[in-house]
Amino acid sequence: MTAETKTELPQAATGSCCSPAGSCHGGAAEDTAGGVTTVYQVKGMTCGHCEGAVSEEISGIAGVTSVKAVASTGQVTVISESALDEDAVRAAVDEAGYELAGRA
């Protein structure tokens, strides 16, 4: 007979509502061990190319450490060393050819 070991992942790794994969805080910036996580709503993304364009532009903002854009929801999750100036995020999204609606 073989023994089966079940390893539970920490909640953040499973995509809980408070991880970078989602948010339950109404788009508010959340201070985490890895920095500040903010979820933005972007209008006009329809595909992977759109996700890449938005991610690339936002990644160029000083202090940004991670960006995940999801075209199907229009949400862009940004992790940064400190809170970002929303005007800088808006300019980056505009440069990519999309519209920042605000925080999700």
Per CATH, domain 26-103 is 3.30.70.100: yes
pLDDT, tens digit, 9 for 90 and up, residues 34-76: 699 999 999 999 999 999 999 999 999 999 999 999 999 999 9
Q: Please report the pLDDT score of residue 3 as a whole number.
A: 42
Q: Please report the pLDDT score of residue 1 as a whole number.
A: 45
Write the burial class of residue 100 (CB in 10 Å: 0-12 exposed, 13-18 middle, 19+ buried): buried
pLDDT, tens digit, 9 for 90 and up, residues 8-38: 333 333 333 333 344 334 445 666 666 999 9
pLDDT (mean) for 92-102: 98
Residue reference for tokens 């996580």: 37
Residue reference for tokens 């023994």: 3
Average pLDDT of the chain, as a whole number: 80
